[in-house]
């Protein structure tokens, strides 16, 4: 039996879209959290608050994963992924243009971060449908690298 290749995995159009959107998501989330940390530091001059601002985007994964992950089993994965991207767009637009106080920005990022594990679980649930057999293992590895 022949193992799947990168060419075969990237030949699947739906996987290319998943991979591209996930890569943009990771880059965008990293830039968002760095920008928020810099903004907090610029307004407060506190390295501790700046570090806390960076962590507020990643820390909710723990609680969101523990208490909300069952939503990914109950709802259709494509709908959850679209909802997740729309939530991220709204959060980024509010952060960029609303001129909110820092506490409100941190709360917004915290609440949106709670649902990130649900959206990632939906993406993972969709992957076996998109890539059957050995291609699934290679595709999962590629998403892990992104």
pLDDT digits (tens, 9 = 90+) for 36-48: 899 889 989 999 9
Lookup: tokens for 107: 């709360």
Residue 134, in any domain of the structure: yes
pTM: 0.82
The domain tally of the chain equals 1
In a domain, 1, yes or no: no
Per-residue pLDDT of 91-107, as tens digits, reads 888 888 877 888 888 88
Residue 54 lies in a domain: yes
Q: Tell me the HSE value of 42 on the side-chain side, using a 13 A CA sphere.
A: 6
The stretches of 4-101 forming alpha helices (DSSP H) are 6-10, 13-44, 47-55, 60-67, 71-74, 77-97
Mean pLDDT of 6-28: 93
Do residues 100 and 40 lie in contact, with contact meaning Cβ atoms separated by under 8 Å? no
Q: Is 124 inside a domain boundary?
A: yes
Comparing C-alpha atoms, which of 102, 141, 110, 111 is closest to residue 124? 141
Residue 17 confidence class, pLDDT cut points 50, 70, 90: very high
Domain for residue 3, yes or no? no
User: Would you say residue 56 lies in a domain?
Assistant: yes
Domain-located, residue 132: yes
- Where in the sequence is the domain holding 32, given as residue range(s)? 9-145
50 within a domain of the structure (yes/no): yes
């Amino acid at each position: 039996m022949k193992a799947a290749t990168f060419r075969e995995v990237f030949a699947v159009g739906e996987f290319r879209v998943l991979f591209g959107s996930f890569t943009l998501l990771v880059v965008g989330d990293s830039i968002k959290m760095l920008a928020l940390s810099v903004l907090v530091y610029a307004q407060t001059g506190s390295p501790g608050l700046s570090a806390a601002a960076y962590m507020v985007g990643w820390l909710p994964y723990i609680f969101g994963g523990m208490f909300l992950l069952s939503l990914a089993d109950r709802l259709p994965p494509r709908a959850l992924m679209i909802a997740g991207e729309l939530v991220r767009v709204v959060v980024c637009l509010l952060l960029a243009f609303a001129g909110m106080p820092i506490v409100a920005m941190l709360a917004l990022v915290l609440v949106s971060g709670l649902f990130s594990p649900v959206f990632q679980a939906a993406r993972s649930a969709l992957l076996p449908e998109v890539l059957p057999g050995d291609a699934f293992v290679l595709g999962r590895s590629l998403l892990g690298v992104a």
